[in-house]
Amino acid sequence: MSKQLDLTFSALADPTRRAILARLKGGEASVMELAEPFDMSLPAISKHLKVLERAGLIARGRDAQRRPCRLQAAPLEEIAEWTGGFRRFWESSFDRLDDHLAQMTKKESRHGRKKRK
């Protein structure tokens, strides 16, 4: 898997960081605003934000005072692509293949055909 994806997955593994992302779904917010619901120091929150930023999940504004954070969707979409589209296509197909092969195996044994290997 790509490095980006490694970063994204490990960033998402932490409940505080997921809560921060959930908060940012409602719109951009400053570090102070983000820290509010958590029983955590500002430096601790800042550390989480750095992880999220490195994973490309958030972007920070240029305003030196507030440096507001906002959600970046691209890495999330990349994860969805990996876990959804392609995988789901093949998973569904192979489940159907199981049933199909069960029928073919039964049919073959019924006809007493010799196995060719």
Partner 1 sequence: MDARRGSDHKLVVDGVGEREIVMTRAVAAPRHLVFDAWTKPEQVARWLLGPAGWTMPFCKIDLRVGGAWRYLYVHDSGKKMGMGGVYREIAAPDRLVFSESMDHGESEDIEVSTKMFPGESVNTLTLVEKDGVTTMKLVGLYPSRETRDAALASGMEKGVRASFDRLEEMIS
Q: How far is the CB of 23 from partner 1 (least distance, A)?
A: 10
Is residue 85 a contact point for partner 1 (CB under 8 A)? yes
* Residue selected from 7, 16, 18, 46 as contacting partner 1 according to rule CB under 8 A: 18
Rounded Cα–Cα distance for residues 92 and 41 (Å): 47
| Least gap, CB of 8 to partner 1 (angstroms) | 11
Residue 69 φ then ψ, to 5°: -100, 145
Burial annotation 91-113 (CB, 10 A radius, 16+ → b, else e):
eeeeeeeeeeeeeeeeeeeeeee
Min separation Cβ 48 and partner 1, Å: 14
Question: Which residues on adjacent β-strands are paired with residue 70?
Answer: 59
Interface pattern 22-61 for partner 1 (x via CB under 8 A): x--x------------------------------------
Q: Which stretch binds partner 1 (CB under 8 A): 32-40, 41-49, 62-70, 94-102?
A: 94-102
Say which DSSP state 29 is in: B
Query: In whole angstroms, what is the distance from residue 41 CA to residue 22 CA?
Result: 19
Q: Which residues are at the interface with partner 1 (CB under 8 A)?
A: 1-2, 12, 18, 21-22, 25, 76-102, 104-105, 108, 115-117
